[in-house]
């Protein structure tokens, strides 16, 4: 199934920014499908209600407001809370990252869109997810010295063909004029994190995510992610950046997975 609504953001550019990850054949396939979508798609329709989106985005203002926005969350790990502040877990055992910002909960339709991009290769969502992040920025983003991303293992790159967070990070760096450090983290091996418990995620990441060879002394680095689940990946990445001298590490993810008992109000 291919989504037939398309926004004004150039999706082809988003794919090409993946650069070395794409073979010539893959690029031709992507271009073919994007051209086909454009021919069949009425411009300016809202993805959810099919009303006029105003030509500015893939959602109308009403549907944009109805997305599962995070209301209150822990200032450090972004787990949903009923009031502002810092959760007890972060107070007792702080993670390696200093703060995080996740504007949405990982619930429908956000969760479906991310899965469509990552698992179904519906590439138009690369631009749309980037647009959602650009519209919902951390308040202290301008204080950051650079942004980086969680790399993919070679096996995952081979199977999927691209790294979602790398493409989003490259686009955000370009649009917001923030330096990008592409080799601050190295991924050696490890299984997919999805479906693992918090303890299993920590064990899986212990040897698979390694620091790069960057001089980050005194720098404020923001890690771009699509989804923050237990925080294990973010914690391992922040630890690796601080081993290279980073003084402040923040996480900027599109969505945060709420705990099982959480009910959106």
Q: What is the pLDDT of residue 225?
A: 96
Confidence of residue 3 (pLDDT cuts 50, 70, 90): very low
Look over the chain and give the mean of its residue pLDDT values, rounded to a whole number: 83
Could you please report the per-residue DSSP string of 61-97?
HHHHHTS-B--SBBTTT--B-SSSB--HHHHHS--SS
Q: What is the pLDDT of residue 18?
A: 47
Encode pLDDT of 166-188 as tens digits: 999 999 999 999 999 999 999 87
Q: What is the pLDDT of residue 196?
A: 53
Q: Residue 67, Cα to own-chain centre: how many angstroms? A: 16
Average the pLDDT over 44-66 and give the result.
87
CB-based burial of residue 158 (10 Å sphere; 0-12 exposed, 13-18 middle, 19+ buried)? exposed
Q: What is the DSSP letter of 163?
A: -
Encode pLDDT of 218-231 as tens digits: 999 999 999 999 99
CB 177 within 8 A of CB 144: no
CA distance 238 to 225: 12
Closest by Cα among 220, 216, 151, 224 to 183: 151
Encode pLDDT of 183-225 as tens digits: 999 987 655 555 555 555 555 555 578 999 999 999 999 999 9
Confidence of residue 264 (pLDDT cuts 50, 70, 90): low
SS3 144: coil
Q: What global pTM score does this model have?
A: 0.80
Q: What is the pLDDT of residue 146?
A: 98
CB 227 within 8 A of CB 251: no
């Amino acid at each position: 199934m291919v989504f037939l609504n398309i926004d004004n953001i150039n999706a082809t550019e988003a794919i090409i920014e993946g650069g070395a990850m794409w073979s010539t054949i893959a690029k031709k396939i992507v271009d073919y499908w994007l051209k086909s979508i454009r021919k069949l798609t009425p411009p300016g329709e809202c993805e959810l209600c099919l009303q006029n989106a105003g030509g500015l985005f893939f959602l109308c203002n009403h549907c944009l407001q109805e997305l599962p926005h995070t209301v209150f969350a822990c200032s450090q790990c972004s787990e949903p809370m009923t009031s502002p502040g810092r959760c007890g877990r972060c107070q007792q055992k702080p993670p390696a990252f200093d703060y995080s910002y996740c504007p949405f909960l990982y619930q429908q339709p956000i969760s479906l869109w991310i899965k469509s991009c990552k698992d179904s290769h519906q590439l138009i969502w690369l631009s749309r997810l980037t647009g959602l992040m650009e519209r919902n920025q951390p308040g202290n983003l301008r204080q950051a010295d650079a942004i980086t991303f969680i790399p993919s293992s070679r096996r995952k790159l081979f199977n999927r063909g691209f790294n979602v967070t790398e493409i989003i990070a490259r686009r955000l760096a370009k649009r917001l004029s923030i330096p990008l450090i592409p080799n601050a983290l190295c991924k050696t091996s490890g299984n997919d994190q999805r479906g693992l418990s918090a303890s299993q995620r920590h064990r899986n990441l212990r040897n698979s995510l390694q620091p790069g060879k960057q001089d980050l002394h005194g720098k404020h680095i923001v890690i771009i992610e699509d989804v923050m689940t237990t925080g294990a990946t973010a914690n391992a990445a922040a630890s690796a950046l601080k081993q290279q001298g980073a003084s402040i590490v923040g996480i900027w993810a599109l969505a945060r997975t709420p705990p099982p008992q959480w009910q959106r109000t």
